[in-house]
């Protein structure tokens, strides 16, 4: 009897599928981890952009102060995380003609940068993190008595967090 030797046997196909399945079992989780790490790195990069914009704006208006303080104030969020949206008040200061509010659209003309996780950002400024200073001495010197601090995190990824001290 003459057998046709073209094609694959069932055993060869089963072994090939088993090898591919084993490789996929290791490759897919590694790919998903790499993808998640990439998003986390992008989120940290974006948080640094947001944080730097807040720090730069605060630094540029800090000497105006509010009331008896010589420093601008970060707008407190109390003891809760607050969504960082386009109209969120970030900084308050007074040039002598009344209080001025700095909102996120003053920092980013196109609005708050998007989160790579698609969930948005939250900011946290505790009540006692608002900063205070006064002018004293001759010549006057700015004496800082309290340094403001704020935190930013991804809304649905609370472990992706950045903290800033001004």
- Percentage helix, strand, coil for the chain under 3-state DSSP, each rounded to 5: 35, 30, 35
Mean pLDDT value across the chain: 84
Q: Is residue 30 part of a domain?
A: yes
The stretch 43-60 carries a mean pLDDT of 90
Number of domains in the chain: 1
- The pLDDT of residue 83 is 93
Question: Is there a domain that residue 5 lies in?
Answer: no
Question: Looking at the domain assignment, is residue 53 inside a domain?
Answer: yes
Residue 3 forms part of a structural domain = no
Which pairing describes strands 89-94 and 132-136: parallel, antiparallel, or unpaired?
Answer: unpaired
More confident site: 7 or 52: 52
How confident is the model over 35-46, as a mean pLDDT?
A: 90
**pLDDT score, position 130:** 66
The pLDDT assigned to 98 comes to: 82
Q: What is the pLDDT of residue 52?
A: 92
Domain containing 25: what range?
Answer: 10-165
Distance of CA 70 to the CA centre of its chain: 28
Per-residue pLDDT tens over the stretch 63-96? 766 665 667 788 888 888 999 998 999 988 887 7
Is 1 part of any domain? no
pLDDT digits (tens, 9 = 90+) for 103-121: 999 999 888 999 998 889 9
pLDDT at 73: 80
Q: Give mean pLDDT, residues 133-158.
A: 81
Residue 118 φ/ψ region, left for φ over 0, alpha for ψ in the -120 to 50 degree band, beta for the rest: left
């Amino acid at each position: 009897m003459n057998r046709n030797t073209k094609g694959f046997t069932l055993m060869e196909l089963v072994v090939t599928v088993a090898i591919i399945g084993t490789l996929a079992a290791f490759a897919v989780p590694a790919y998903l981890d790499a993808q998640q790490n990439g998003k986390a790195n992008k989120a940290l990069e974006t948080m640094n952009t947001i944080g730097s914009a807040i720090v730069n704006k605060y630094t540029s208006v800090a000497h105006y102060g509010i009331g008896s303080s010589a420093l601008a104030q970060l707008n407190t969020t109390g003891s809760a995380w607050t969504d960082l949206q386009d109209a969120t008040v970030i900084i308050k200061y007074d040039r002598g003609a009344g209080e001025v509010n700095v909102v996120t659209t003053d920092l980013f003309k196109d609005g708050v940068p998007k989160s790579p996780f698609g969930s948005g950002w939250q900011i946290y400024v505790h009540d006692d993190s608002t900063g205070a200073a006064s002018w004293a001495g001759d010549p006057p010197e700015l004496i800082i008595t309290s340094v403001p601090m704020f935190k930013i995190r991804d809304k649905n990824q609370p472990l992706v967090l950045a903290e800033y001290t001004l």
